[in-house]
Amino acid sequence: MAKRKLLFIGNGMASMKCIEHIVKKQPERYSITIIGKEKHPAYNRIKLSSVLQKSESLSQIELKPKEWYTKHDITIQTGEAVVHIDTKRQLLMTEARRNIPYDKLVIATGSSPHFLPIQGVSKKGVYAFRTIDDYEAIYADSLRYERAAVIGGGVLGVEVAAGLQIAGLKTTLIHHTDWLMQRQLDETAAGLLSQQLSRKGIQVKTNAHTIACVGNERVEGVLLKSGGIVDADLVVFTTGVRPNIELAKQHGIHTRKAIVVNDVMQTNVENIYAIGECAEHKGMVHGLVQPIYEQANVLANHLLDELVTNLPPTIYSTKLKANDISIYSAGSIVNRSPSASVVTYLDEEQDVYKKTSV
Protein backbone atom coordinates (compact mmCIF):
# COMPACT_ATOMS: atom_id res chain seq x y z
CA MET A 1 0.00 0.00 0.00
CA ALA A 2 1.36 3.44 -0.96
CA LYS A 3 2.32 5.75 1.83
CA ARG A 4 -0.03 8.64 2.55
CA LYS A 5 1.38 12.15 2.25
CA LEU A 6 1.83 13.88 5.61
CA LEU A 7 2.96 17.49 5.36
CA PHE A 8 4.19 19.79 8.14
CA ILE A 9 4.34 23.58 7.84
CA GLY A 10 6.94 24.56 10.40
CA ASN A 11 10.15 22.80 11.33
CA GLY A 12 10.22 23.37 15.06
CA MET A 13 10.09 21.34 18.26
CA ALA A 14 6.36 20.51 18.00
CA SER A 15 6.69 19.11 14.48
CA MET A 16 9.75 17.07 15.37
CA LYS A 17 8.16 15.53 18.45
CA CYS A 18 5.12 14.47 16.42
CA ILE A 19 7.27 13.05 13.60
CA GLU A 20 9.50 11.17 16.06
CA HIS A 21 6.44 9.48 17.51
CA ILE A 22 5.12 8.49 14.07
CA VAL A 23 8.35 7.06 12.62
CA LYS A 24 9.06 5.15 15.81
CA LYS A 25 5.65 3.43 15.84
CA GLN A 26 4.66 3.12 12.17
CA PRO A 27 7.55 4.18 9.91
CA GLU A 28 5.83 2.89 6.75
CA ARG A 29 2.56 4.75 7.34
CA TYR A 30 3.39 8.16 5.89
CA SER A 31 5.63 9.89 3.41
CA ILE A 32 6.63 12.95 5.44
CA THR A 33 7.57 16.39 4.11
CA ILE A 34 8.54 19.37 6.26
CA ILE A 35 8.49 22.96 5.01
CA GLY A 36 10.41 25.36 7.27
CA LYS A 37 10.66 29.12 6.88
CA GLU A 38 13.96 29.27 8.76
CA LYS A 39 17.07 28.24 6.83
CA HIS A 40 18.23 25.99 9.66
CA PRO A 41 17.11 22.41 10.40
CA ALA A 42 15.05 21.92 13.57
CA TYR A 43 16.75 23.02 16.77
CA ASN A 44 15.91 23.43 20.44
CA ARG A 45 14.80 27.06 20.55
CA ILE A 46 14.67 26.96 24.36
CA LYS A 47 18.43 26.46 24.50
CA LEU A 48 19.36 29.47 22.37
CA SER A 49 19.98 31.44 25.55
CA SER A 50 22.42 28.69 26.63
CA VAL A 51 24.31 29.25 23.37
CA LEU A 52 24.47 32.98 24.13
CA GLN A 53 25.82 32.11 27.59
CA LYS A 54 28.44 29.84 25.94
CA SER A 55 27.31 26.77 27.87
CA GLU A 56 26.21 25.03 24.64
CA SER A 57 27.03 25.34 20.93
CA LEU A 58 24.68 25.68 17.97
CA SER A 59 25.49 22.14 16.86
CA GLN A 60 24.55 20.83 20.31
CA ILE A 61 21.03 22.26 20.12
CA GLU A 62 20.17 20.67 16.75
CA LEU A 63 17.32 18.23 17.32
CA LYS A 64 18.37 15.68 14.68
CA PRO A 65 21.39 15.15 12.44
CA LYS A 66 20.91 15.21 8.66
CA GLU A 67 21.30 11.42 8.54
CA TRP A 68 18.16 10.99 10.64
CA TYR A 69 15.98 12.66 7.99
CA THR A 70 17.55 10.51 5.27
CA LYS A 71 17.17 7.30 7.29
CA HIS A 72 13.44 7.90 7.74
CA ASP A 73 12.90 9.13 4.17
CA ILE A 74 11.79 12.56 5.38
CA THR A 75 11.91 15.41 2.87
CA ILE A 76 12.83 18.73 4.43
CA GLN A 77 12.72 22.12 2.73
CA THR A 78 14.32 24.91 4.77
CA GLY A 79 14.33 28.63 4.07
CA GLU A 80 11.01 28.46 2.24
CA ALA A 81 7.65 29.86 3.33
CA VAL A 82 4.21 28.55 2.45
CA VAL A 83 2.06 31.24 0.81
CA HIS A 84 -1.15 29.42 -0.15
CA ILE A 85 -3.21 26.41 0.93
CA ASP A 86 -5.77 24.96 -1.48
CA THR A 87 -7.97 23.18 1.06
CA LYS A 88 -10.26 21.64 -1.58
CA ARG A 89 -7.53 20.13 -3.76
CA GLN A 90 -5.35 19.47 -0.66
CA LEU A 91 -2.39 21.28 -2.14
CA LEU A 92 -0.12 24.02 -0.89
CA MET A 93 2.14 26.48 -2.69
CA THR A 94 5.47 27.80 -1.44
CA GLU A 95 7.03 31.17 -2.16
CA ALA A 96 9.22 29.37 -4.74
CA ARG A 97 5.94 28.52 -6.52
CA ARG A 98 6.27 24.81 -5.79
CA ASN A 99 3.00 22.91 -5.42
CA ILE A 100 3.03 20.16 -2.80
CA PRO A 101 0.04 17.80 -2.32
CA TYR A 102 -0.99 16.37 1.03
CA ASP A 103 -3.37 13.84 2.54
CA LYS A 104 -2.89 15.24 6.04
CA LEU A 105 -1.55 18.70 6.84
CA VAL A 106 -0.14 19.86 10.18
CA ILE A 107 0.31 23.58 10.79
CA ALA A 108 3.06 24.16 13.34
CA THR A 109 4.08 27.70 12.49
CA GLY A 110 4.85 28.69 16.07
CA SER A 111 4.89 32.35 17.04
CA SER A 112 6.72 35.59 16.36
CA PRO A 113 8.29 38.03 18.83
CA HIS A 114 6.15 40.89 20.07
CA PHE A 115 7.83 44.30 20.11
CA LEU A 116 6.34 47.04 22.24
CA PRO A 117 4.39 49.52 20.07
CA ILE A 118 6.86 52.33 20.68
CA GLN A 119 9.07 54.57 18.58
CA GLY A 120 12.50 53.44 17.49
CA VAL A 121 12.10 49.66 17.41
CA SER A 122 13.12 49.59 13.74
CA LYS A 123 16.53 51.14 14.45
CA LYS A 124 19.70 49.16 13.88
CA GLY A 125 20.79 47.32 16.99
CA VAL A 126 17.25 46.49 18.16
CA TYR A 127 16.51 42.76 18.22
CA ALA A 128 14.22 40.04 19.42
CA PHE A 129 15.70 36.77 20.66
CA ARG A 130 13.82 34.01 18.92
CA THR A 131 15.90 32.44 16.14
CA ILE A 132 19.46 31.44 15.31
CA ASP A 133 19.59 34.49 13.02
CA ASP A 134 18.74 36.69 16.02
CA TYR A 135 21.46 35.03 18.08
CA GLU A 136 24.07 35.45 15.34
CA ALA A 137 23.25 39.15 14.87
CA ILE A 138 23.30 39.82 18.62
CA TYR A 139 26.55 37.91 19.07
CA ALA A 140 28.20 39.85 16.22
CA ASP A 141 27.15 43.14 17.84
CA SER A 142 28.39 41.97 21.23
CA LEU A 143 31.92 41.85 19.78
CA ARG A 144 31.71 45.49 18.62
CA TYR A 145 29.75 47.31 21.33
CA GLU A 146 29.86 47.73 25.10
CA ARG A 147 26.37 48.48 26.45
CA ALA A 148 23.16 46.46 26.22
CA ALA A 149 19.59 46.74 27.46
CA VAL A 150 17.11 43.89 27.71
CA ILE A 151 13.43 44.88 27.76
CA GLY A 152 11.31 42.32 29.60
CA GLY A 153 12.23 40.56 32.83
CA GLY A 154 10.57 37.20 32.33
CA VAL A 155 12.50 33.94 32.08
CA LEU A 156 13.92 34.66 28.63
CA GLY A 157 14.85 38.23 29.53
CA VAL A 158 16.85 37.09 32.56
CA GLU A 159 18.61 34.43 30.49
CA VAL A 160 19.47 36.87 27.69
CA ALA A 161 20.76 39.46 30.17
CA ALA A 162 22.99 36.80 31.71
CA GLY A 163 24.30 35.88 28.26
CA LEU A 164 25.07 39.48 27.31
CA GLN A 165 26.89 40.01 30.59
CA ILE A 166 28.99 36.89 29.93
CA ALA A 167 29.77 38.32 26.48
CA GLY A 168 31.30 41.30 28.25
CA LEU A 169 28.58 43.93 27.80
CA LYS A 170 27.48 46.32 30.51
CA THR A 171 23.89 45.11 30.71
CA THR A 172 20.67 46.61 32.08
CA LEU A 173 17.53 44.51 32.53
CA ILE A 174 14.32 46.58 32.37
CA HIS A 175 10.98 45.21 33.57
CA HIS A 176 7.59 46.87 33.88
CA THR A 177 6.24 45.11 37.01
CA ASP A 178 7.25 45.14 40.68
CA TRP A 179 9.64 42.19 40.37
CA LEU A 180 11.28 39.88 37.83
CA MET A 181 9.65 36.66 36.60
CA GLN A 182 6.38 37.54 38.32
CA ARG A 183 4.61 34.54 36.75
CA GLN A 184 7.06 32.09 38.31
CA LEU A 185 8.40 33.78 41.46
CA ASP A 186 7.01 35.51 44.50
CA GLU A 187 8.49 38.79 45.72
CA THR A 188 11.03 37.16 48.06
CA ALA A 189 12.44 34.82 45.42
CA ALA A 190 12.55 37.60 42.83
CA GLY A 191 14.41 39.81 45.28
CA LEU A 192 17.09 37.15 45.72
CA LEU A 193 17.32 36.80 41.93
CA SER A 194 17.79 40.56 41.51
CA GLN A 195 20.56 40.51 44.10
CA GLN A 196 22.38 37.71 42.30
CA LEU A 197 22.07 39.49 38.95
CA SER A 198 23.39 42.71 40.50
CA ARG A 199 26.40 40.87 41.90
CA LYS A 200 27.13 39.69 38.36
CA GLY A 201 27.17 43.29 37.20
CA ILE A 202 23.69 43.36 35.64
CA GLN A 203 21.68 46.44 36.57
CA VAL A 204 18.03 45.61 37.26
CA LYS A 205 15.29 48.21 36.84
CA THR A 206 11.76 47.15 37.87
CA ASN A 207 8.58 49.23 37.64
CA ALA A 208 10.28 50.74 34.60
CA HIS A 209 8.22 51.38 31.47
CA THR A 210 10.03 51.68 28.15
CA ILE A 211 8.51 54.31 25.86
CA ALA A 212 11.08 54.65 23.05
CA CYS A 213 14.37 53.49 21.60
CA VAL A 214 16.43 56.62 20.98
CA GLY A 215 19.32 57.37 18.65
CA ASN A 216 19.86 58.18 15.00
CA GLU A 217 20.05 55.27 12.55
CA ARG A 218 21.39 53.00 15.27
CA VAL A 219 19.95 52.74 18.77
CA GLU A 220 21.85 54.69 21.41
CA GLY A 221 19.59 54.17 24.41
CA VAL A 222 16.19 53.42 25.88
CA LEU A 223 13.87 56.18 27.11
CA LEU A 224 11.82 55.33 30.20
CA LYS A 225 8.47 56.78 31.23
CA SER A 226 10.19 58.30 34.27
CA GLY A 227 12.25 60.44 31.89
CA GLY A 228 15.48 58.53 32.47
CA ILE A 229 17.56 57.13 29.62
CA VAL A 230 19.43 53.83 29.74
CA ASP A 231 22.45 54.04 27.44
CA ALA A 232 22.62 51.05 25.11
CA ASP A 233 24.26 50.20 21.78
CA LEU A 234 22.27 46.97 21.64
CA VAL A 235 18.65 46.44 22.74
CA VAL A 236 16.91 43.07 22.97
CA PHE A 237 13.14 42.80 23.40
CA THR A 238 11.85 39.76 25.30
CA THR A 239 8.31 41.07 25.69
CA GLY A 240 6.32 38.04 24.61
CA VAL A 241 5.20 36.41 21.37
CA ARG A 242 2.16 36.31 19.08
CA PRO A 243 0.94 33.08 17.37
CA ASN A 244 1.59 32.89 13.62
CA ILE A 245 -1.95 32.42 12.35
CA GLU A 246 -2.18 34.62 9.24
CA LEU A 247 -1.78 31.72 6.80
CA ALA A 248 -4.61 29.83 8.52
CA LYS A 249 -6.89 32.90 8.67
CA GLN A 250 -6.47 33.50 4.95
CA HIS A 251 -7.73 30.04 4.09
CA GLY A 252 -10.88 29.63 6.15
CA ILE A 253 -9.31 27.91 9.15
CA HIS A 254 -10.99 29.00 12.38
CA THR A 255 -8.81 31.23 14.57
CA ARG A 256 -9.26 33.21 17.77
CA LYS A 257 -6.11 33.93 19.75
CA ALA A 258 -4.57 31.11 17.73
CA ILE A 259 -5.74 28.27 15.44
CA VAL A 260 -8.69 26.60 17.16
CA VAL A 261 -8.36 22.81 17.50
CA ASN A 262 -10.35 20.00 19.09
CA ASP A 263 -9.15 17.23 21.40
CA VAL A 264 -7.16 15.52 18.61
CA MET A 265 -5.67 18.83 17.42
CA GLN A 266 -7.92 18.97 14.34
CA THR A 267 -9.06 22.30 12.90
CA ASN A 268 -12.47 23.01 11.38
CA VAL A 269 -11.07 22.10 7.93
CA GLU A 270 -10.92 18.41 7.06
CA ASN A 271 -7.44 16.81 7.22
CA ILE A 272 -5.80 19.95 8.63
CA TYR A 273 -4.36 20.02 12.15
CA ALA A 274 -2.42 22.49 14.30
CA ILE A 275 -0.01 22.01 17.20
CA GLY A 276 2.36 24.11 19.25
CA GLU A 277 2.37 27.83 19.92
CA CYS A 278 0.03 28.52 16.98
CA ALA A 279 -2.71 26.21 18.35
CA GLU A 280 -5.55 27.07 20.73
CA HIS A 281 -7.19 24.20 22.63
CA LYS A 282 -10.12 24.92 24.94
CA GLY A 283 -9.21 28.59 25.01
CA MET A 284 -5.57 27.97 25.97
CA VAL A 285 -2.47 28.79 23.92
CA HIS A 286 0.66 27.19 25.33
CA GLY A 287 4.19 28.54 25.09
CA LEU A 288 6.00 25.97 27.24
CA VAL A 289 7.42 22.78 25.81
CA GLN A 290 5.69 20.21 28.06
CA PRO A 291 2.07 20.83 26.94
CA ILE A 292 3.24 21.27 23.33
CA TYR A 293 4.91 17.85 23.40
CA GLU A 294 1.70 16.40 24.81
CA GLN A 295 -0.19 17.90 21.87
CA ALA A 296 2.33 16.38 19.45
CA ASN A 297 1.91 12.91 20.96
CA VAL A 298 -1.90 13.15 20.91
CA LEU A 299 -1.84 14.14 17.24
CA ALA A 300 0.64 11.39 16.34
CA ASN A 301 -1.58 8.75 17.96
CA HIS A 302 -4.60 10.12 16.11
CA LEU A 303 -2.78 10.06 12.76
CA LEU A 304 -1.78 6.45 13.45
CA ASP A 305 -5.38 5.47 14.33
CA GLU A 306 -4.29 4.59 17.85
CA LEU A 307 -6.11 5.22 21.09
CA VAL A 308 -6.06 8.91 21.94
CA THR A 309 -6.20 9.97 25.56
CA ASN A 310 -7.36 13.43 26.53
CA LEU A 311 -4.72 16.10 26.97
CA PRO A 312 -3.83 16.11 30.67
CA PRO A 313 -4.23 19.29 32.71
CA THR A 314 -0.98 21.22 32.49
CA ILE A 315 1.13 21.90 35.56
CA TYR A 316 3.51 24.61 34.43
CA SER A 317 7.13 24.33 35.46
CA THR A 318 10.13 26.50 34.67
CA LYS A 319 13.84 26.05 35.19
CA LEU A 320 15.99 29.13 34.69
CA LYS A 321 18.99 28.59 32.42
CA ALA A 322 21.51 31.08 33.79
CA ASN A 323 25.05 30.29 34.92
CA ASP A 324 25.44 29.99 38.70
CA ILE A 325 21.78 30.86 39.35
CA SER A 326 19.56 27.91 40.24
CA ILE A 327 15.81 28.52 40.02
CA TYR A 328 12.99 26.02 39.59
CA SER A 329 9.30 26.89 39.77
CA ALA A 330 6.26 24.63 39.28
CA GLY A 331 2.54 25.17 39.61
CA SER A 332 0.82 28.45 40.44
CA ILE A 333 2.30 31.01 42.80
CA VAL A 334 -1.02 32.83 43.14
CA ASN A 335 -4.09 30.60 42.87
CA ARG A 336 -3.71 28.44 45.96
CA SER A 337 -6.57 26.74 47.72
CA PRO A 338 -7.70 28.67 50.83
CA SER A 339 -7.08 25.51 52.86
CA ALA A 340 -3.54 25.02 51.54
CA SER A 341 -0.60 24.99 53.94
CA VAL A 342 2.47 26.96 52.87
CA VAL A 343 5.95 26.01 54.04
CA THR A 344 8.90 28.33 53.39
CA TYR A 345 12.64 28.09 54.01
CA LEU A 346 14.97 31.07 53.62
CA ASP A 347 18.74 31.22 54.07
CA GLU A 348 19.77 34.70 53.00
CA GLU A 349 23.48 34.02 53.55
CA GLN A 350 23.45 31.18 51.02
CA ASP A 351 20.76 32.71 48.78
CA VAL A 352 18.55 29.67 49.30
CA TYR A 353 14.77 30.07 49.25
CA LYS A 354 12.25 27.23 49.09
CA LYS A 355 8.49 27.47 49.20
CA THR A 356 5.87 24.79 48.82
CA SER A 357 2.11 24.68 49.14
CA VAL A 358 0.22 21.50 50.11
- Tell me the pLDDT tens digit for each residue of 261-304: 999 999 999 999 999 999 999 999 998 888 999 999 999 999 99
Q: Which fold has domain 4-112+241-303?
A: FAD/NAD(P)-binding domain (3.50.50)
Map out the domains of the chain as residue ranges. Answer: 4-112+241-303, 126-239
Same CATH fold, 126-239 and 4-112+241-303?
yes
Residues 6 or more apart from 66 whose CB is under 8 A from it? Answer: 41
Whether the per-residue pLDDT at 23 is higher than 90: the answer is yes
pLDDT score at 170: 97
- Tell me the pLDDT tens digit for each residue of 38-82: 999 999 999 999 999 999 999 999 999 999 999 999 999 999 999
- Give the whole-angstrom CA distance, residue 208 versus residue 200: 21
pLDDT score at 235: 98
- 183-197, 295-309, 327-341: range with lowest mean pLDDT: 327-341
- Give the whole-angstrom CA distance, residue 40 versus residue 127: 19
**Model pTM greater than 0.85?**
yes
325 CB neighbour count, 10 Å cutoff: 16
Strand order in the sheet with 147-151: 126-128, 234-237, 147-151, 170-174, 203-205
Could you tell me what percentage of the chain is helix, strand and coil, using 3-state DSSP and rounding each to the nearest 5? Answer: 25, 30, 45
Query: Which CATH number among 2.102.10.10, 3.90.105.10, 3.20.130.10, 3.50.50.60 corresponds to the domain 126-239?
Result: 3.50.50.60
Kindly give the residue spans of alpha helices, DSSP state H, lying in the chain.
13-25, 48-52, 66-71, 132-142, 155-166, 187-199, 246-249, 289-303
Mean pLDDT of the chain: 91
- Tell me the pLDDT tens digit for each residue of 225-235: 999 999 999 99
DSSP conformational letter for 270: T
